[in-house]
Amino acid sequence: MLEIKNLHVAVDGKEILRGLSLRVDAGEVHAIMGPNGSGKSTLSYALAGRAGYEVTEGSIMYRGEDLGALAPEERAAKGVFLAMQYPVEIPGVTTMMFLKSAINAQRRARGEDELDAVAVLKTVRKKAAALNVSEEMLKRALNVGFSGGEKKRLEILQMALFEPKLAILDETDSGLDIDALRLVAEGVNALRAPERAMLLITHYQRLLDYIVPDRIHVLAKGRIIAEGGKELALELEAKGYEQIIKDAA
């Protein structure tokens, strides 16, 4: 599904990712853990195609296709979904209006029929209920006045609606209390599927208690320096990043 080879990414002329390689197959859930400044967000933005994140070397192959050449909306239409760490507030655009626009834009790009307002509402309502996203939230301007937990739940709702093939969750657990975390994790777990791959980017091991990964990669200074199964998370918890990084050197 996703094959990253020797990826170098620069932001504002400064190199952040320095030869990152990674492979994720369909049906798998991988976790990327790392200390602050290791390049986690840079990786997620580079995968989503954000301007300002320049791939200077290496490649990102998604289902056999080079992602590098595609614009963000093209990647989205092809099934790449990035749940952001800080979902943006857009006053003046209601959540419902946004969801309808996005769903139909993606369908259009894939040559599928667009859904009318009623159909969209039906689908949204059904999936919103499971994530505790209220009607009221859907009527509000996108993310405006939403609490941290509400914003994250809305991100997961979108993931459920767009049905991506590759989902990247960037620090989805940041700012959440236990209850909110549990709800979000349930939502994510419900979306695990044999045709879907997930990349969880996180700083803390806590999230991985709820969403158990198949493989864990440790990212430090722009590179993957250690890999392992889910036990690696406990090792990290016990030793701390500094030690693991030293061990790997």
Partner 1 sequence: MTAVLPTRRIEEWKYSDLARALGDTGFGEDSARALVGPIAQGIDVFSLDEPNRPEWVKAQYGKLPANSVSAVSLAKARGGVALRVHKNKHVEAPLALDFAGRGHVRALLVLDEGASLTLVERCDPSETRNAGFEIVLGRNARLDHVRIAPNSSAVQVEEISMTLAHDAQYRAHFANFGAKLSRLELAIALQGEGAGVDLSGVSVLSDSSHADVTTQVTHAVGQTQSLQLFKKVVGGGAQAVYQGKVTVMPNADGSDSRQTAKALLLGPRAEADLKPELEILADDVKCAHGAAVGDLDADSLFYLRARGIPEKNARHLLLHAFLEDAVQGIANVDLREMVRGAVARALDEVTA
| Nearest alpha carbon to residue 98 among 140, 129, 160 | 140
Helices (H), 25-173: 40-48, 72-77, 95-109, 117-130, 135-139, 148-162
Residue with Cβ nearer partner 1 (51 or 249): 51
CB of 9 to partner 1, least distance (A): 16
CB of 81 to partner 1, least distance (A): 8
CB of 50 to partner 1, least distance (A): 5
Residue with Cβ nearer partner 1 (4 or 161): 161
Task: Tell me which residue has tokens 């937990």.
Answer: 149
Residues near partner 1, by CB under 8 A: 48-51, 71-73, 75-77, 82, 84, 87-88, 90-93, 98, 101-103, 105-106, 109, 158, 162
Residue with Cβ nearer partner 1 (61 or 105): 105
| Nearest alpha carbon to residue 34 among 246, 230, 176, 223 | 223
Q: What is the dihedral of CA 222, 28, 79, 96, to 10 degrees?
A: -100
d(CA 14, CA 4): 20
Q: Left if phi > 0, otherwise alpha if psi is -120 to 50, otherwise beta: which for 107?
A: alpha
CB of 41 to partner 1, least distance (A): 13
CB of 5 to partner 1, least distance (A): 23
Handedness of CA 236, 240, 246, 249 (dihedral sign): positive
CB of 149 to partner 1, least distance (A): 19
Is 232 in a helix, a strand, or coil? helix
Residue with Cβ nearer partner 1 (110 or 239): 110
Task: Tell me which residue has tokens 């239409």.
Answer: 77
Decide: 16 and 9 in contact? Cβ < 8 Å: yes
Tokens at 33, concatenated: 């853990």
CB of 157 to partner 1, least distance (A): 12
Residue with Cβ nearer partner 1 (137 or 232): 137
Residue with Cβ nearer partner 1 (102 or 121): 102
d(CA 76, CA 174): 24
Residue with Cβ nearer partner 1 (77 or 200): 77
